[in-house]
Structure 1
Amino acid sequence: MSSSHDVVVVGGGPGGYAAALYGAAAGLDIALVEKQKLGGTCLHVGCIPAKELLETAAVYRTVAHADQFGISAGPPTVDMGAAQTRKQKIVDQLHKGVGSLLEGRKVTVLDGWGAIGPDRSVSISGGESEAATVTADHVILATGSVPRSLPGFEVDGERVMTSDELLSVSELPGRAAVIGGGAIGLEFASLLADLGSEVTVLEALPRILMGADDDVVKMLTRAFKKRKIQVRTGVAVSGCRNTGSSVELEIDGGDPLEVDAVVVCVGRRPFTDGLGLDAAGVEVDEGGYVSVDQFCRTSLAGVYAVGDVVRTPQLAHVAFAEAIMAVKHLLGESPAPVDYANVPWAIYCHPEVAFVGHTEASAKEAGFDVVASAHRFIGNGRAMIVGETDGLVKVIAERSDDGPAGRILGVHMVGPWVTEQLGQGYLAVNWEATVPEVAEFVQPHPTMSELFGESVLSLTGRALH
């Protein structure tokens, strides 16, 4: 079987299905090749299931402290079977929705593994679509990523896990070690601790959550300590020994750590297995990522690559943006390149973290004369009402010699619901708005988003609180 299309997309995750849907909306004839389930890592073993289980943890936490609100509920218990059933129901519903959208826009979905060949052809094998070759004017590679492993840690899904396995557990470990203090590791550490596990986070770097402002990291670390989550930085692990009833971690220069389960969260690698990049002449870098230019064009004419398969922030919303940009570019339009320095970040641990743009330290390193303002949730009425006052909002701006601070360079937040509050900060940073301009905006009261307005207003030199 063979067919020809305007665009062939290889991979059905966020980058792939976004490219297919956006291209189809522009009138292009699109074929999408996917062997596993449509939706990719994000939908099945990433963003969606992780946040659903984190919401389970939030409900547990709320019920556990219900007496503070005058509600007698008794000590809560966790039914992981019911939680997993709810998680899967949401995943299945969204999976069905992606398929319906693609069908509605007449995207040809081909089941199988795709490998790129000469003249922008893609050969398909190992799936229900049987052996086939499709050709196109353009090809978009969007094959995503898989969890990285560590030497000396053999994943068995019970004692030693990655994020993939943890999201399907039926029983929580009593003691858990999370290796990796990035976004994924901190979310799982928070989830496990909320649901009753004794958690230790081990991070090889000097601090957790690289990219977030120092003040945010300090407050998050304090909040974790209050919840009895141990955070150990500057710690290297060299392996582990599975005793059958526990796992003993070998820590360089330190005593072993015995736990019931280890969760390895040291990032993800690009999934290009069997894609045929070398034979096709598609360049990859030393880390195995597909090399692309500012418009996500590869070294092979007419071929683009988006999402986790390229060396850009491994975020679903970045994959969406790259997919839209690539389609616009192949249509001959003039899209703006994605500004990776100013994409929004959201980490759904407790308390949540969200940020965009420069930290105070990075702004100074970049040569800006910096002024910063931070306000804490402890004085915010809505935060008090919901009983979540740990956190702060910090605004970093360029100093002005003739009055209030100038352009807003970064917004960093830690605290309740900050992943839903970053929108104002994101727009301010990316529209290069100034402090006087944003200070004019009226903030609704009582809301947590008032704290952003307070932080900006204080940079005018005339704060209210």
Structure 2
Amino acid sequence: MGYVTRIVIIGGGPGGYEAALVAAQLGAEVTVVDCDGLGGASVLTDCVPSKTLIATAEVMTNFDSSYEELGIRVEDSTHDPDDPARVVGVDLGKVNRRVKRLALAQSHDIAASVTRAGVRVLRGRGRVEPGQGPGGSREVVVTPTGDGSSGAGGTSAQPAAEERLTADAVLVATGGHPREIPDAQPDGERILNWKQLYDLEELPEELIVVGSGVTGAEFAGAYRALGSDVTLVSSRDRVLPGEDPDAAAVLEDVFRRRGMNVMSRSRAASAKRVGDRVEVALQDGRTITGSHCLVAVGAVPNTSGMGLEEAGVRLKESGHIWTDKVSRTSAPGIYAAGDCTGVFALASVAAMQGRIAMYHVLGETVTALNLKAVSANVFTDPEIATVGYSQADVDSGRMDAWSVKLPLLRNPRAKMQGIRDGFVKLFCRPGTGIVVGGVVVAPRASELIHPISVAVDNNLTVGQIANTFTVYPSLTGSIGEVARQLHTRKTAEDA
């Protein structure tokens, strides 16, 4: 482990708390400085809450879309026979109370794990002082938040006054916050960002979602499933412009079939309250109205006011921290992990960056971050899961690969479950048949992507996947079938 023993981590999200656990296990003296509660936005206001809400929406969608085909009889006298698509309703207040309860419980669990490991947790905001001390040490100044609370996790100690910490290494893992449109400022009642949605007690009658990236698409799909009339405003040609185009096309078709108003090539200029309504003005002069508006136009890194540039940390034009593949910044002794780096806005990547940083700091064997092994998921219905090289990489010539796409409609298990939308797509190298990427569009695609991730990470071939048993009937059978088709093509090319 060498001489490095004192670690200060600023930020208690996945990048911070995972790094703290690793460093503590390796014998370091670890202090986490956190102002919101352990777990960070991922647990308290972002990933865990949104996926909990989506879980409720998913149950409703699955029942609504398949109960008749599966032969389920509904004998509820309150059911409107003229509206067969809406058999069940939702108590949004109850849903949101459950969302916040589960998020807080998860934060408590993380805090308990961290403190059991011997990590000191301070509630406050951290600032890195310029320059280095003897032996290259760094100094972090912790300022109390001033609210007197102990944080959402409930186990942190708030310093009574400003406290100075000396560290042999500092990890910055401060995450990000919702980006705002200057003329569409959230008020927490009718104009909302994604952090404020969980305070709603009643389901929005007409929800306008500004932004068709991952966050916008997930919430638009969820609230449509819960019963809101949803208008999705997309500045691009299609929803999810950063995802596989075939996958995005399937999702947009599903959205439209379920009654969502998808407005492509429409950029929002402003949003304002007009009584109990919201007016959203588009840049082309059109105006749309709804009862509520969700602004989901990306995130801004939490890097300002921390003394980073004065300490020698290079920031990108976007405000994100530049890091190398072992999480080092441009300043000696300072590392960074998570959304504040702009690498991938995924909790799994943040956690890996944090762990890599600690392994590197403490002299352990370390493997550089490999983004091509990262699996990601969009929690819409159907879900979209990806790993490795993409269709865009193939189309642009960055990767020479073959691909085969197999619709789930041909899968026997999908037929049994009433699944009509989705597909499995694999990419492999022409000469070797090594799997270099994949896309799954399906219910629980987040689970189905794992065997493809294993293949990508371990350089497995389509032949190896094709010759591996799959359960019959199962959705994973489609992964085996796609691999067989690619293997047959390779065999024919080699002959």
TM class by shorter chain equals over 0.9
Contact 1:186 1:349 in 2 (8 A): yes
SS in 1 for 2:263: strand
Q: Relative to structure 1, is the Cα distance of residues 254 and 32 closer, same or farther in structure 2, using a 3 angstrom cutoff? A: same
Deviation string, structure 1 residues 282-304 (Cα, Å, up to 9, x no partner) = 22111111122221111221110
Paired with 1:100 and 1:449, the residues of 2 have a C-alpha distance of 37
Map 1:290-369; keep pairs closer than 5 Å: 290-369=321-400
Q: Of 122, 139, 148, which residue of structure 2 is paired with 1:121? A: 139
Q: Which moved more, 1:51-60 or 1:363-372?
A: 363-372
SS in 2 for 1:299: coil
Paired with 1:181 and 1:108, the residues of 2 have a C-alpha distance of 40
Paired with 2:297 and 2:219, the residues of 1 have a C-alpha distance of 12
Q: Of 225, 234, 243, which residue of structure 1 is paired with 2:274? A: 243
1:256 counterpart residue number: 287
Paired with 1:312 and 1:42, the residues of 2 have a C-alpha distance of 16
Shift of 1:462: 7.6
Map 1:23-422; keep pairs closer than 5 Å: 23-64=23-64, 65-67=66-68, 68-72=70-74, 74=76, 75-117=87-129, 118-119=131-132, 120-127=138-145, 128-130=158-160, 131-400=162-431, 406-422=433-449
Shift of 1:63: 4.1
Q: Relative to structure 1, is the Cα distance of residues 358 and 462 closer, same or farther in structure 2, using a 3 angstrom cutoff? A: closer
Shift of 1:192: 0.7
Paired with 1:255 and 1:108, the residues of 2 have a C-alpha distance of 54
SS in 1 for 2:196: helix
Paired with 1:288 and 1:222, the residues of 2 have a C-alpha distance of 36
1:22 counterpart residue number: 22
Which ranges of structure 1 fall in alignment gaps of 5 or more residues? none
Paired with 1:170 and 1:338, the residues of 2 have a C-alpha distance of 42
Shift of 1:368: 4.0
SS in 2 for 1:455: helix
Q: Relative to structure 1, is the Cα distance of residues 73 and 371 closer, same or farther in structure 2, using a 3 angstrom cutoff? A: farther
Q: Which moved more, 1:453-462 or 1:50-59?
A: 453-462
Q: Which moved more, 1:19-28 or 1:186-195?
A: 19-28
Asked if 1:449 corresponds to 2:446, the answer is no
Deviation string, structure 1 residues 135-186 (Cα, Å, up to 9, x no partner) = 1111101111100011210110122111111133211211111111111111
Shift of 1:270: 0.5
After TM superposition, the score normalised by the length of structure 2 is: 0.88
Map 1:425-464; keep pairs closer than 5 Å: 425-461=452-488
Q: Which moved more, 1:42-51 or 1:424-433?
A: 424-433
How many matched pairs?
456
Deviation string, structure 1 residues 407-446 (Cα, Å, up to 9, x no partner) = 2221011121111111011121222222112212111122
Paired with 1:198 and 1:211, the residues of 2 have a C-alpha distance of 25
Shift of 1:334: 4.0
2:152 counterpart residue number: none
Shift of 1:81: 2.0
SS in 2 for 1:461: helix
SS in 1 for 2:241: coil
Contact 1:207 1:233 in 2 (8 A): yes
AA at the equivalent of 1:438:
I
Contact 1:380 1:389 in 2 (8 A): no
Q: Relative to structure 1, is the Cα distance of residues 388 and 31 closer, same or farther in structure 2, using a 3 angstrom cutoff? A: same
Shift of 1:5: 5.6
Question: Aligned residues: percent identity?
Answer: 31
Which ranges of structure 2 fall in alignment gaps of 5 or more residues? 77-86, 133-137, 146-157, 491-495
Paired with 1:73 and 1:136, the residues of 2 have a C-alpha distance of 66
Deviation string, structure 1 residues 196-241 (Cα, Å, up to 9, x no partner) = 1111211212332234222111111111111112222222121123
Paired with 2:313 and 2:399, the residues of 1 have a C-alpha distance of 39
Q: Which moved more, 1:329-338 or 1:294-303?
A: 329-338
Paired with 2:75 and 2:379, the residues of 1 have a C-alpha distance of 26
Paired with 2:201 and 2:398, the residues of 1 have a C-alpha distance of 51
Contact 2:100 2:198 in 1 (8 A): no
Deviation string, structure 1 residues 25-44 (Cα, Å, up to 9, x no partner) = 12211111112111101101
Shift of 1:359: 2.4
Shift of 1:313: 0.8
Q: Which moved more, 1:270-279 or 1:362-371?
A: 362-371
Contact 1:31 1:110 in 2 (8 A): yes
AA at the equivalent of 2:469:
V
- List 4+ stretches of structure 1 deviating above 4 A: none
AA at the equivalent of 2:217:
L
Q: Of 415, 423, 443, which residue of structure 1 is paired with 2:450? A: 423
